[in-house]
Structure 1
């Protein structure tokens, strides 16, 4: 099983402690997939600063293929984080070198050697999704909590698994997932924080709760859920089982500081 994750990375800097942890949706998803047993590659840009060096070293240490992670002159992206009752709250975000991210023909050829490609709403990768589908790749995309984003209307036709972040199972999110499915996605999924998750495949809704654990830091919970779900799908598991695997993977992540 080979999965490529593409786009944004950032150092999550906790303002109270000053500690910095590597993160960013595609990076986190690649790391969690490797822990689940998949072969994952991360394609992105880091800066020429100490954070860039740390990012490269730590991702590589986790067993992710970083042969197509590039260093560019400038700053690595940084997100400032505060913990409020063990729930991570994002502050200022400095995109650094990732603001100008593009893919080369060689990188696109490398991505094509994988079964599935994953990216997120902040990664500047959406322009390549029609090409990914044309080349026969399975695709997933994390829209995060950006339910009003223009990409919600335009991108799902090229996305097999569309992920969203919301708060509860209600009539709004059910209709929303139906609409995104009708825009072309194979399956639409919403993580609902402490209220579990919900998926829609065009025929029925699937609901899953959370695994009860002591929460230390919710950083990376959604990304680890995505990893579990994708891994399950590539293993051929039914959607309900993929939600279960997503919940189990997320439960491990929230028991320690930082995404991983």
Structure 2
């Protein structure tokens, strides 16, 4: 069984049009989706001490994730304000990850020893873990990093040499710019690059060949977590097959992309990132 960990952000997404909040955040989403896909998954992040944090923690406990190394700081948990327009999630604002941004991860030697036991680390631009990447890389554990959509070229130049798998949201970019970004990331040391393209699907580049994955279109209830679920499903399937020695390189990539597309489509039928909605004021 693959053993993976999401390091960084957790939030509550507050849906203002329904006054309902859902747990989420890139690193936490990764861990939850990996758990649902059969991996042994953990989350290491920072929780606040407010009602929002308690809701996220109770949801995680019910799911069964290991969060034993996570921090708790006095203050606000990460929180984002959201609405839906024809099923597409639209962000209205946030507290920029709350206590995680304010206090950081502050990883200890015990934390690094713990991280060393995993097969894969996942973090991202909102995980505030960039300063930890060099140390994590020395542990010999592969690292996947989600740059989201609002990355800068400076961040790509700084982070890509420290990671193994780069993920970008590129529906806002021209195709040539997307392809150049993928080539650049490989040139900086990444082994695989995935660019999600919204309703156009996804592109993958392994340094030798580009792979296109068409989306499995559904009438979306909520697109929150669609990209996170695609990336998680792909990398879990890809690494699991490689660990077991199943199939050749191209076959593994193509089959993993197909499975990821199906999982991501199913995610679009779920409220929030992974459910667990709660009306404001009742917690």
TM-score relative to the length of structure 1: 0.96
Q: What are the within-5 Å matches in structure 2 for residues 55-204 of structure 1?
A: 55-94=56-95, 95-99=97-101, 100-102=103-105, 103-167=107-171, 170-204=175-209
In structure 1, C-alpha distance between the alignment counterparts of 2:169 and 2:94, rounded to whole Å: 19
Instruction: Tell me what 1:259 maps to.
Output: 273
Question: Unpaired runs of 5+ in structure 2?
Answer: 243-251, 275-283
In structure 2, C-alpha distance between the alignment counterparts of 1:212 and 1:56, rounded to whole Å: 33
Q: Deviation per CA, 1:44-96: give whole Å up to 9, x if none.
A: 11111111111111012112111122221111111000111110011111121
2:20 is equivalent to residue 19 of structure 1: yes
In structure 2, C-alpha distance between the alignment counterparts of 1:245 and 1:29, rounded to whole Å: 16
Structure ranking higher on relative contact order (CA contacts 8 Å, 6+ apart) = 2
Deviation at 1:169, TM superposition (A): 7.2
In structure 1, C-alpha distance between the alignment counterparts of 2:214 and 2:93, rounded to whole Å: 31
Equivalent of residue 258 in structure 2, options 226, 232, 244: 244
In structure 1, C-alpha distance between the alignment counterparts of 2:270 and 2:139, rounded to whole Å: 39
In structure 1, C-alpha distance between the alignment counterparts of 2:234 and 2:221, rounded to whole Å: 23
Instruction: Tell me what 2:9 maps to.
Output: 8
In structure 2, C-alpha distance between the alignment counterparts of 1:245 and 1:147, rounded to whole Å: 27
| RMSD between aligned residues | 1.3
2:48 is equivalent to residue 47 of structure 1: yes
In structure 1, C-alpha distance between the alignment counterparts of 2:41 and 2:153, rounded to whole Å: 28
In structure 1, C-alpha distance between the alignment counterparts of 2:255 and 2:98, rounded to whole Å: 38
Q: Which runs of 4+ in 1 moved over 6 A?
A: none
Question: Unpaired runs of 5+ in structure 1?
Answer: none
In structure 2, C-alpha distance between the alignment counterparts of 1:171 and 1:111, rounded to whole Å: 37
Instruction: Tell me what 2:247 maps to.
Output: none
